[in-house]
């Protein structure tokens, strides 16, 4: 959780720059937006909150000119035409939750694609100079090599690059940010919000989408709440609270009995596990996973947690691990979903052994399995829906369901709650606990250290090494942060 001072009322709140009037949008039978009325003022940071599937990302694409609304209109400073080219000329840029970078291009080449200043024979030098200056300005100590391909960067570094690319815009007037900090470390998050507040002070408007309520409360001037494609409330930040916002969104602050009952109802009873599920032989702090344990990988982002998950998934030298394992990658767009497939096909693709008889997939079993998990995790859209028609949070539910729908004794999760709302987190927390009680082992990494409280044991990382093991009452956010910075070092053994 990021803690910063709350923003104060901005002096130019009466100068409205963008107005949305009666904006509606449908995708087939799904109503994504249902008559949105919204204004954004110059120098205002407008927070936008709501559960997954509320319509936030759709609204942002309409406001950025990326999609046309079916009804209603969007106007910029009273103008009548609004589309992507008009928005670009107005200095409106959007930072996507699902990163829009070309993986086979270098950092500078990605910048050149969208930066009009990077033209002519010196385009590469111009792009390199501009992105390096912007990264150094916003994220000091970022560690990004601008001549590397973006596919070689970590998720946090790609997120920083996506932000820097938008900020390279000359005459930037409005910035739309869709979950900008989900992959960032605590320090990078603080650096970003410091810069955003400076931009707002210079008159740049912003719309900020985040499921991290404390960040929205700390940095927005005003907060709009979305539910079922509508804006149901808009409040000044000074009078808002996290619990009140969650209640308005229509969700519970904590996991309730109905959620736990639904998640538990379809649990299978045929898992049999004994002994040690996984072990790293080359770690000075003994790393082992036993049946029924929830193991957390914590510490500063990018310090080796994902490397351990990949080692456990791939096996090999120095790794002892069960053959029955499943993996949920951190980047659902490039390594997770199959965009041309339905929800059911995405959900069941790893369950061939459970669904087949004499080598043939039984369609009825596949349909039943998909329907069971769609109901169990309340996946909006249904089993037949195209996976790309789902919100990011519901796509993430599908990936998690894919792993748990198998007979895997070990499930590996790389930041599974990135971009999901509180209600979804409650469902997934309950699912993990139920599956662990049945003997399934779970190893997961989260960028939010506070979530490690749901684990039985936690390994803390720094500089590619496990520096401590925590259990029970030792698992606190303060202790994790202290160990991340070396206050309780026990080893210098490399786990890579």
* 336 Cβ contact list (under 8 Å, min separation 6): 328, 329, 395, 399
The reply to whether domains 16-249 and 252-324+407-496 share a CATH topology is yes
- What pLDDT does residue 334 have? 63
Question: Quick check: 331 and 155 in contact, CB under 8 A?
Answer: yes
CA distance 145 to 151: 12
For 457, the token pair is 């044991």
CA distance 55 to 328: 25
Domain 16-249 fold:
Rossmann fold (3.40.50)
For 330, the token pair is 């951190």
- What pLDDT does residue 360 have? 61
Q: What is the phi/psi pair of residue 388, to 5°?
A: -75, -10
Residues written for the chain:
496
Its CATH architecture, for the domain 252-324+407-496, is: 3-Layer(aba) Sandwich (3.40)
- What pLDDT does residue 294 have? 93
| 10-residue averages of pLDDT along the chain (496 residues) | 48 75 86 90 93 86 90 87 86 82 85 76 84 92 86 86 89 91 86 94 93 90 91 90 84 50 50 72 86 90 84 89 88 73 88 66 79 85 84 84 90 83 80 88 88 90 87 88 70 44
Q: What is the phi/psi pair of residue 33, to 5°?
A: -130, 140
- What pLDDT does residue 459 have? 94
DSSP state of 226: E
CA 274 to chain centre: 34
For 278, the token pair is 């996984």
Give first-to-last CA distance, the chain, whole Å: 28
For 297, the token pair is 């990988």
- Cα torsion 135, 331, 33, 36 to 10°: value is -20
Question: Quick check: 20 and 63 in contact, CB under 8 A?
Answer: yes
- What pLDDT does residue 338 have? 85
- What pLDDT does residue 335 have? 62
Mind giving me the DSSP string for 44-93? -EEEEE--TTSSHHHHHHHHTTSS--SEEEEEETT-S--SHHHHHHHTEE
CA distance 405 to 413: 14
DSSP run (H or E) holding 206: strand 205-209
Domain boundaries, the chain: 16-249, 252-324+407-496, 337-404
CA distance 281 to 399: 30
């Amino acid at each position: 959780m990021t803690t910063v001072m709350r923003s104060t009322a901005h002096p130019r709140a009466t100068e409205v720059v963008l107005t949305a009037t009666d904006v509606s949008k449908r995708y087939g039978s799904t109503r994504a937006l249902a008559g949105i009325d919204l204004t954004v003022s110059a120098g205002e940071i407008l927070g936008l909150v709501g559960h997954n599937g509320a319509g936030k990302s759709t609204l942002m694409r309409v406001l950025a000119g990326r999609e046309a609304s079916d009804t209603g209109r969007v106007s910029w400073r009273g103008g009548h035409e609004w589309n992507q080219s008009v928005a670009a000329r107005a200095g409106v840029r959007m930072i996507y939750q699902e990163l829009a970078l070309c993986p086979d291009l270098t950092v500078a080449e990605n910048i050149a694609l969208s930066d009009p200043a990077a033209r002519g024979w010196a385009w590469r030098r111009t792009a390199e100079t501009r992105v390096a200056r912007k990264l150094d300005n916003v994220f000091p100590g970022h560690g990004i090599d601008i001549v590397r391909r973006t596919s070689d960067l970590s998720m946090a570094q790609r997120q920083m690059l996506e932000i820097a690319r938008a900020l390279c815009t000359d005459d930037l007037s409005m910035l739309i940010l869709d979950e900008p900090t989900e992959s960032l470390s605590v320090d990078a998050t603080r650096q970003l919000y410091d810069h955003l507040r400076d931009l707002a002070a210079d008159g740049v408007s912003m719309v900020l989408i985040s499921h991290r309520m404390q960040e929205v409360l700390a940095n927005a001037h005003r907060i709009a709440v979305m539910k079922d494609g509508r804006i149901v409330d808009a409040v000044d930040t000074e009078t808002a609270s996290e619990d009140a916002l969650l209640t308005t969104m229509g969700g519970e602050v904590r996991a309730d009995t109905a959620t736990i009952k639904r998640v538990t109802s379809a649990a299978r009873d045929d898992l049999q596990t004994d002994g040690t599920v996984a072990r790293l032989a080359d770690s000075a702090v003994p790393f082992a996973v036993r049946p029924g344990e929830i193991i957390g990988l914590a510490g500063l982002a990018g310090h080796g947690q994902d490397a351990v998950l990949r080692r456990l998934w791939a096996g090999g030298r120095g790794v002892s691990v069960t053959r029955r394992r499943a993996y949920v990658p951190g980047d659902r767009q490039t390594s997770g979903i199959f965009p041309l497939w339905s929800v059911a096909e995405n959900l069941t693709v790893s369950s061939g052994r459970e669904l087949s008889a004499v080598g043939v997939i039984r369609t009825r079993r596949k349909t039943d399995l998909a329907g069971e998990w769609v109901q169990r995790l309340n996946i909006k859209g249904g089993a037949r829906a195209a996976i790309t028609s789902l919100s990011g949070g519901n796509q993430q539910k599908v990936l998690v369901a894919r792993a748990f729908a198998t007979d895997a004794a070990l499930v590996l999760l790389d930041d599974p709650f990135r971009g999901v709302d509180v209600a979804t987190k409650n469902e997934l927390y309950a699912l993990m606990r139920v599956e662990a009680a049945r003997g399934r082992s779970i190893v997961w990494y989260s960028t939010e250290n506070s979530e490690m409280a749901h684990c039985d044991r936690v390994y803390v990382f720094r500089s590619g090494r496990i520096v401590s093991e925590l259990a029970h009452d030792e698992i606190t956010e303060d202790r994790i942060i202290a160990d991340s910075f070396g206050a309780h070092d026990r080893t210098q053994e490399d786990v890579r």
